[in-house]
């Protein structure tokens, strides 16, 4: 069920600008990219103080909504946080909120691509080493993440795509049967094909014109952002007790390609 509360209500009414006009005309020039000019004009109508409150509200909202790890929609942000403020303020408020999340919380805001454009996820800047947990996470999360790591590994080692029947067959060997409620995971089929999918860790795509339907598993956008092929390869090598991950020739090449692409992307920015 989807319900949202506006973080820290009423503040924007309390802080109604007095003499905001003169102030606003001076301060919007934060040397933004030119694409922000329209947004800046909208933001300039906001008092600087009010803008700051909106940014803080948005940070709080993103953190609360991220607890379930479901992507957060721009529509909802506009509805809940920005409300009557012109929607054109969105880019600037979002930019500022992202800066704060990075500076204070060590979290990156990432916009999803393709069909999911207009949705955002939060990703920690810090990679969590699977073998050396530096931080304590809730136990429930840990076990779920373990299952997820295995699924991501299976997909990756299978050339980045795996048919559902093959996935279930492999998981059964680990005592995980999609048809049988699992002691730890409960309805494990639902967890994998619905929860992990909604959270953006997996894609679960029906092959066209199949009857009965056949589905494929792929990595979702959150998986790509949160972990790396290098990390997964390292994880698999450990499970198989392989000291040199380069033994997995094609996967190694895949990993190398991914890293090269990241470097070239970083350079072009």
Residues that bind other proteins (CB under 8 A): 1, 3-5, 7-9, 56, 59-60, 63-65, 67-68, 103-107, 124-126, 134-138, 141
Cβ proximity to other proteins: between 52 and 258 the closer is: 52
Cβ proximity to other proteins: between 222 and 255 the closer is: 222
Quote the least distance from Cβ 231 to other proteins, whole Å. 16
Structural contact between residues 87 and 39, judged by C-beta atoms closer than 8 angstroms: no
Both structure tokens of 189: 């089929």
Quote the least distance from Cβ 193 to other proteins, whole Å. 23
Cβ proximity to other proteins: between 124 and 238 the closer is: 124
Structural contact between residues 102 and 125, judged by C-beta atoms closer than 8 angstroms: yes
Both structure tokens of 58: 């948005």
Quote the least distance from Cβ 57 to other proteins, whole Å. 9
Cβ proximity to other proteins: between 137 and 240 the closer is: 137
Quote the least distance from Cβ 61 to other proteins, whole Å. 9
Cβ proximity to other proteins: between 138 and 175 the closer is: 138
Quote the least distance from Cβ 77 to other proteins, whole Å. 14
Cβ proximity to other proteins: between 103 and 241 the closer is: 103
Quote the least distance from Cβ 59 to other proteins, whole Å. 5
């Amino acid at each position: 069920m989807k319900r949202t509360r506006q973080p820290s209500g009423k503040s924007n009414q309390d802080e109604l600008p007095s003499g905001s006009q003169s102030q606003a005309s001076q301060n919007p020039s934060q040397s933004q990219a030119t694409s922000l000019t329209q947004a800046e004009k909208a933001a300039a109508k906001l008092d600087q103080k009010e803008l700051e409150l909106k940014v803080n509200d948005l940070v709080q909202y993103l953190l609360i909504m991220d607890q379930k790890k479901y992507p957060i929609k721009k529509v909802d942000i506009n509805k809940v946080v920005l409300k009557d403020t012109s929607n054109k303020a969105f880019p600037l408020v979002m930019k500022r909120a992202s800066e704060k999340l990075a500076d204070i919380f060590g979290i990156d805001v990432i916009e999803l691509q393709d069909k999911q454009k207009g949705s955002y996820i939060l990703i920690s800047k810090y990679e969590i080493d699977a073998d050396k947990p530096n931080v304590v996470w809730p136990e429930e999360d840990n076990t779920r993440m373990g299952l997820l790591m295995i699924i991501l590994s299976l997909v990756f080692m299978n050339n980045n795509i795996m048919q559902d029947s093959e996935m279930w067959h492999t998981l059964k060997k680990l005592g995980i049967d999609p048809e049988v409620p699992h002691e730890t995971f409960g309805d494990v089929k639902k967890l994998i094909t619905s929860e992990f999918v909604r959270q953006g860790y997996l894609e679960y795509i029906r092959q066209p014109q199949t009857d009965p339907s056949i589905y494929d598993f792929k990595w979702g956008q959150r998986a790509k952002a949160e972990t790396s092929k290098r990390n997964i390869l390292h994880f698999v090598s450990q499970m198989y007790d392989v000291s040199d991950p380069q033994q997995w020739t094609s996967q190694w090449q895949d990993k190398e390609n991914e890293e090269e692409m990241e470097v070239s992307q970083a350079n072009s920015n």
